[in-house]
Amino acid sequence: MGLLSDPNRRRALINLLTRLNAPICVVCYMAGVAWFMGLAFEPFTLRTYMALATGREFAAHKRKVGGMPVDWLVKTFQARGLEVYTQRFSRTLPFPDENKERYMVKGTNVYGILRAPRAPRTEALVLSAPCSLGDDNNQAVGLLLGLAQYFRNQIYWAKDIIFLVNEHDLIGMQAWLEGYHHTNTTGMDWSPLHGRGGSIQAALSLELSSDVVTSLDLVLEGLNGQLPNLDLANLFYAFCQKIGVLCTIQGKLQRNDWDSVSGYSHSVQTMMLMVMKQASGRPWGDHGLFLRYHIEAATIKGVNSFRQYKTDVSTVGRLLEGMYRKLNNLLERLHQSYFFYLMPSLSHFVSIGYYMPAFGLLAVILFLRALDLWVQLTAPPPTATEDGSSPGVLSVLTPLVISHVTGAALYALPIHFQQVAIEHFPVSETEAVVLTAIAVYTAGLALPHNTHRLLAGEGTEKGWRVLKLVAVLYLAVLLGCTALINFSLGFILALTLVPIAAFVTPHVPKVLSAFILVLLSPLQEIPVSFQEGWMLFLNVISQGILDHALYGSFVYPLIALLVYPCWLLFWNISSGSRARSGQDLYGGTDCPQVEPLKGVSWPKMEEDMCWLVKARHGR
Is pLDDT of 297 > 90?
A: yes
**Average pLDDT over all residues of the chain:** 79
365 Cβ contact partners less than 8 Å away, ≥ 6 residues apart: 25, 28, 29, 498, 501, 502
Burial of 130 (0-12, 13-18, 19+ CB in 10 A): buried
Predicted pLDDT at 99: 67
Determine phi and psi for 350, rounding to 5 degrees.
-115, 120
pTM passes above 0.75:
yes
Helix, strand, coil distribution of the chain in percent, nearest 5 = 55, 15, 30
Q: Each residue of 499-515: pLDDT tens digit?
A: 888 888 877 777 777 77
Is pLDDT of 527 > 80?
A: no
What is the spatial distance between Cα 101 and Cα 176, in angstroms, rounded to a whole number? Answer: 22
What is the spatial distance between Cα 330 and Cα 346, in angstroms, rounded to a whole number? Answer: 22
Report residue 145 CA to chain centroid gap: 35
User: What is the mean pLDDT of the segment spanning 123-140?
Assistant: 86
Is pLDDT of 528 > 50?
A: no
Q: Each residue of 575-596: pLDDT tens digit?
A: 765 444 333 333 333 444 444 4
User: What is the mean pLDDT of the segment spanning 545-567?
Assistant: 89
Q: Each residue of 402-417: pLDDT tens digit?
A: 889 989 998 988 888 7
Predicted pLDDT at 100: 67
Q: Which residue has the higher pLDDT, 600 or 346?
A: 346
Q: Each residue of 103-129: pLDDT tens digit?
A: 788 889 999 999 988 777 788 999 999
Cα dihedral 210/248/357/500 (nearest 10): -50
pLDDT category at 5 given cuts 50, 70, 90 is low
Q: Are 91 and 189 in contact (CB under 8 A)?
A: yes
327 Cβ contact partners less than 8 Å away, ≥ 6 residues apart: 125, 159, 201, 202, 235
Q: Which residue has the higher pLDDT, 179 or 610?
A: 179
Q: Which residue has the higher pLDDT, 265 or 380?
A: 265
pLDDT category at 604 given cuts 50, 70, 90 is very low
Rg (CA), the chain: 30
User: What is the mean pLDDT of the segment spanning 144-160?
Assistant: 89
Q: Which residue has the higher pLDDT, 123 or 390?
A: 123
| Angle, CA 295 vertex, CA 328 and CA 547 arms, to 5° | 145
Predicted pLDDT at 43: 61
Predicted pLDDT at 524: 57
3-state secondary structure of 386: coil
Q: Are 203 and 295 in contact (CB under 8 A)?
A: yes
Is pLDDT of 374 > 90?
A: no
pLDDT category at 250 given cuts 50, 70, 90 is confident
Predicted pLDDT at 175: 92
pLDDT category at 597 given cuts 50, 70, 90 is very low
Predicted pLDDT at 525: 43
Bridge partners (DSSP) of residue 46 are 349
Q: What is the DSSP letter of 596?
A: P
Is pLDDT of 9 > 90?
A: no
Predicted pLDDT at 526: 41
pLDDT category at 4 given cuts 50, 70, 90 is low
